[in-house]
Amino acid sequence: MGELKDKAKGHADTMLGEVKRGIGKATNNPELEAKGAAQKMKGQAEKAKGGVKGTLNKL
């Protein structure tokens, strides 16, 4: 069940990061753009972690 939680949190972080990155780019705010990119990468890693947990649980 932990894999679903990781995937959901990862998806949320990915989406929020993309929004922050877009707002930072649109407002010419490199700090916000960088924070958004970092949050998006964190979300992608969390989704991958959830996928690995799901695979391991099937073994």
- Name the residue ranges covered by the structural domains of the chain: 2-58
Segment-wise mean pLDDT, segments of 10 residues, the chain, 59 residues: 86 96 98 98 94 83
- Where does residue 59 rank: exposed (0-12), middle (13-18), buried (19+ CB within 10 A)? exposed
2 Cβ contact partners less than 8 Å away, ≥ 6 residues apart: 50, 53
Q: Which of 37, 55, 35, 44 is nearest to 12 (CA)?
A: 44
CA atoms within 13 A on the CB side of 12: 6
pLDDT of residue 55: 83
pLDDT of residue 1: 62
pLDDT digits (tens, 9 = 90+) for 19-30: 999 999 999 999
1 Cβ contact partners less than 8 Å away, ≥ 6 residues apart: none
> What is the rounded average pLDDT for all residues in the chain?
93
